Amino acid sequence: MGEVKDKKEDKFFYFVDTVKYETTHSVLTGAQIKALIPNFDHSYSLFLEVPGEDPDQLIGDETSVSLEKDKGPRRLYTVPPATFGF
């Protein structure tokens, strides 16, 4: 018995600022997610929406984000740097 060669790879979905992204990886780091966002401004922060929790989770470059389907599609958003005063 050999391997099934036509096995379709699992796809995992997530959203950043309402834009849908797709990957074959079940876990991505913050750095990997940022690298997939076209023209990502690295002065911005990345946050993960966490239903029922306040505040949402800040995702650093080394932070792992599970994209497992049982959690539903993960929703992330970007936030520009805070400016205080002028």
Domains detected in the chain = 12-79 (2.40.240)
Assessment of whether the complete model's pTM goes beyond 0.85: no
pLDDT at 42 over 60: yes
H-only helix segments in 20-83: 30-35
Peptide bond before residue 51 is cis, with ω within 30 degrees of 0:
no
The predicted structure's pLDDT at residue 6: 44
Quick count: other Cβ atoms within 10 Å of Cβ 73?
Answer: 12
Task: Write the pLDDT tens digit of every residue in 2-24.
Answer: 544 444 678 999 999 999 999 99
pLDDT at 67 over 90: yes
The tokens for 53 are 């929790």
Give the span between the Cα atoms of 34 and 39, in whole angstroms: 9
Give the span between the Cα atoms of 45 and 47, in whole angstroms: 7
Contacts of 79 (CB under 8 A, 6+ apart): 44, 45, 46, 47
DSSP state of 33: H
